[in-house]
Structure 1
Amino acid sequence: MDQTQNNTNPLPAIRLGDVVYQVPEPGVPRRVSARSSAVEVMTDLHRVPAATIPAGMNLDDARQAMILRGVRMLLVTDDRRAVKGLVTASDLLGEQPVMVAQNRAVAVADLTIADIMTRVDAVEAFALRDVLNAHVGDVVSALRLLGRQHALVVEPGEAGLPAHIRGVFSASQIARQLGIPPFVGEVARTFAEIEAAIGA
């Protein structure tokens, strides 16, 4: 078949000499710099299953889910995979549960994720088309301006279908990929260390 008729360009074939196959390195994300492509630090939900929990889960079970999955943010979803919000380790471990419980005159143990999550209409997100043209330093600057350690990446759905979450940015993952030792701290210190590492 004439390749010019269907506007394709066949890939050129090469002959192999000595080669080895690539072995995945789980838990060892690729090192990046401020000028690396932003997608290098995005958790791509086409490749990694989203970490989700239901809104009715209690706080202790949610903390356990984070530990088991090795994440510091969970998407809160319903049984139709619709995202209702998100919850972070800071939400679970900070003062918010105690304040909510006091305001409602209930025990913290009686709260569910729905009581403390950030609702989806208040969640910061970036468009995938913008992320594809951005650098790691751009993502760090955006997260710092938002005062958040996490942000979602969204791409439009096909005709008539809702948009879907394609990826997640995490300040702690960016720090790991920049070679900053693991830490747990407030947002300001997190970004001070990241920006020092990238020379921002």
Structure 2
Amino acid sequence: MSSYKSIPVTMIETDVSYHKPSQTFRESVTLEDSALEVMTDFTRVTAISINPCASLEQARERMVSSGVQMLFVTNQYHEVMGLITVNDLNGPKPMQAVSENGGKMEDLMVRDIMTPRLKLEALDYEDISHARVGDLLETFKRMGRQHALVVEKDTSTDKQIIRGVLSTTQLSKQLGYQVQSSHMAGNIAEMAQGG
């Protein structure tokens, strides 16, 4: 005779959701803290993606509903084709695409304004694991960008895989002052004192 029992069944209620992985960040960091303290780690939180044929409005809605400012543009095999940011949506790229290719703004797709994979720069996870927050500030200043991808080698396939993302938005939250990559202060000491 079996000692197993049938588990009771329940009905799903209205307005049900599901658990989503989340990463908790330290509330504040200093310039001397590890750069890993400000990295969104895709081994701990799910990266948000979108289809290249989605409309710009769908991309905007996905960003708002997910609370992110960047989406990976992926194909049906979940391979990264590029990325699109809130700055791409709100900046001159949509108007440029319409003027170069014709058509209407509402007909634009994510693929029309995304930054393609071949133009994406990344930082190596090994370097980030030994870097400090101050090093990241210098790197953002040099790159002139608001996001930086972090890559590592997938040991099972020996191919590059995106491990995480760094953003000036997350950096600003944890440092307690606004970090802007395009017109940062001349040096880190000025920024720390001015913040």
Q: TM over 0.5, yes or no? A: yes
Asked if 1 retains the 8 angstrom alpha-carbon contact of 2:23 and 2:44, the reply is no
The Cα of 1:29 is off from its aligned counterpart by 4.2
The more displaced of 157-166 and 147-156 is: 157-166
The residue number in structure 1 matching 2:182 is: 188
User: How many equivalent pairs are there?
Assistant: 172
The residue number in structure 1 matching 2:95 is: 98
Matched, 1:35 2:32: yes
CA distance in 1, matches of 2:149, 2:88: 17
- The one of 109, 129, 133 equivalent to 2:130 is 133
Partner secondary structure for residue 154 of structure 2: coil
CA distance in 2, matches of 1:101, 1:193: 37
Paired AA for residue 134 in structure 1: A
Matched, 1:121 2:115: no
- The one of 51, 55, 80 equivalent to 2:52 is 55
Inter-CA distance 151–26: structure 2 relative to 1 (3 Å threshold):
closer
Q: Percent identity?
A: 36
Inter-CA distance 108–27: structure 2 relative to 1 (3 Å threshold):
farther
- The one of 76, 83, 94 equivalent to 1:79 is 76
| Superposition CA RMSD, Å | 2.4
The more displaced of 27-36 and 121-130 is: 27-36
TM-score by length of structure 2 reads 0.80
Matched, 1:111 2:105: no
CA distance in 2, matches of 1:63, 1:179: 27
CA distance in 1, matches of 2:26, 2:185: 21
CA distance in 2, matches of 1:144, 1:136: 13
Paired AA for residue 136 in structure 2: V
Asked if 2 retains the 8 angstrom alpha-carbon contact of 1:150 and 1:171, the reply is yes
Matched, 1:152 2:177: no
Asked if 2 retains the 8 angstrom alpha-carbon contact of 1:63 and 1:92, the reply is yes
Asked if 2 retains the 8 angstrom alpha-carbon contact of 1:128 and 1:155, the reply is yes
Question: For 1:127-167, what per-residue CA distance to the aligned partner results, in whole angstroms no more than 9, with x for missing partners?
Answer: 10100100011111111111110010001022544211000
CA distance in 1, matches of 2:166, 2:23: 18
The more displaced of 158-167 and 116-125 is: 158-167
TM-score by length of structure 1 reads 0.78
The Cα of 1:79 is off from its aligned counterpart by 1.6
CA distance in 2, matches of 1:73, 1:91: 9
CA distance in 2, matches of 1:72, 1:104: 26
Inter-CA distance 27–128: structure 2 relative to 1 (3 Å threshold):
closer
